[in-house]
Amino acid sequence: MSTSPEHPIAKRLSGWAVFDLDGTLADSLSDISLALSKVLRRHHRNSLSLEETKKLVGKGPRTLVERAWLATGEPASEEQARELTGEYLLEYRSNPKGGTRAFPGIHEGLRRLFSLGWSLGLCTNKDGRAARFLVEELGWEKWIRVVVSGEETTRKPDPLPLRLALRRMKAPPGRHLFIGDSEVDLQTARNARVEGVFLSHGYGEFGSVSRDGMHHMGTAAELFSWMARAGPRPASAPPRSGFAKLPGNF
């Protein structure tokens, strides 16, 4: 684990954390791959394997479709990409949960953090309707009350969606965290001046982002144990009333 000189370990974490969704909290690769393959086959393209699809995710549905088209033949035009993205979203929304499951230790970890007073949010490039449905279906809506999705502002690694999530959570200044599974997530954290945490059980790679000020966790159990230890003491835990009822919240 790497700790920034600007945030010595003696200074406790704030108790506000934002998570990425796909590859971080939820293993949704099989459902993403299934929906994408249906669209590819409909247009007489070869399907992509799970491993091939895994390399394409991370920057939202349109980028996923554009990358898939480039990987299977001629690239899609602007108009084609827009129409194909619509087809993909229809396929995915028809069975958004499907085989999607929480990664080991996620459900218990979120519940524990919430009981300790943590305020939790979600920032994803995923389609917002599908993201909120998954949060509800996986039973996390009690703990994750703010969701900012790719179509609401700009997409990660732009810092705006992460900053919007923290603003909706009414987070004060402090050592906030953004937890993800990709270089895009780490760059988003850096751009937003938030501490980034790379959770390596997901789909992405640490990449070329400097490790200075970033944290690396191998498992959800390791992540949540550290957050519980380094977070606010019970007497100073953030009040749950800090969740704002704004568009994008539950």
For residue 247, tell me if it sits in a domain: no
Mark whether 31 is an active-site residue: no
Q: Residue 240: is its pLDDT beyond 60?
A: no
pLDDT for 8-62, tens place per residue?
A: 444 899 999 999 999 999 999 999 999 999 999 999 999 999 999 999 987 789 9
- In this structure, the answer to whether residues 42 and 56 fall within a common structural domain is yes
- In this structure, the answer to whether residues 157 and 85 fall within a common structural domain is no
Q: Count CB neighbours of 166 within 10 A.
A: 24
| Predicted local confidence at residue 77, as pLDDT | 97
CATH number (domain holding residue 224): 3.40.50.1000
Split at pLDDT 50, 70, 90, the class of 247 is very low
Share of the chain above pLDDT 90, in %: 73
Q: Residue 64: is its pLDDT beyond 70?
A: yes
- In this structure, the answer to whether residues 119 and 215 fall within a common structural domain is yes
For residue 135, tell me if it sits in a domain: yes
Cβ neighbors of 189 (< 8 A, separation 6 or more) are 162, 178, 180, 195, 196, 197, 214
The span from the CA of 213 to the CA of 221, in Å, is: 21
Domain boundary among 49, 70, 93: 93
The span from the CA of 146 to the CA of 243, in Å, is: 7
> Residue 69 is part of which domain span?
29-93
For residue 4, tell me if it sits in a domain: no
Average pLDDT, the chain: 88
Q: Which one, of 155, 162, 167, 164, lies nearest residue 177 by Cα?
A: 162
| Predicted local confidence at residue 10, as pLDDT | 47
- In this structure, the answer to whether residues 144 and 54 fall within a common structural domain is no
| Predicted local confidence at residue 246, as pLDDT | 41
Widest pairwise Cα distance in the chain: 60
Q: Which one, of 155, 120, 105, lies nearest residue 19 by Cα?
A: 120
- In this structure, the answer to whether residues 83 and 163 fall within a common structural domain is no
Write down the catalytic residue from 20, 31, 127, 181: 20
pTM over 0.75: yes
- In this structure, the answer to whether residues 126 and 65 fall within a common structural domain is no
Q: Residue 233: is its pLDDT beyond 70?
A: yes
CATH number (domain holding residue 66): 1.10.150.240
- In this structure, the answer to whether residues 125 and 213 fall within a common structural domain is yes
Q: How many domains does the chain have?
A: 2
The span from the CA of 134 to the CA of 130, in Å, is: 6
Domain boundary among 93, 123, 139: 93
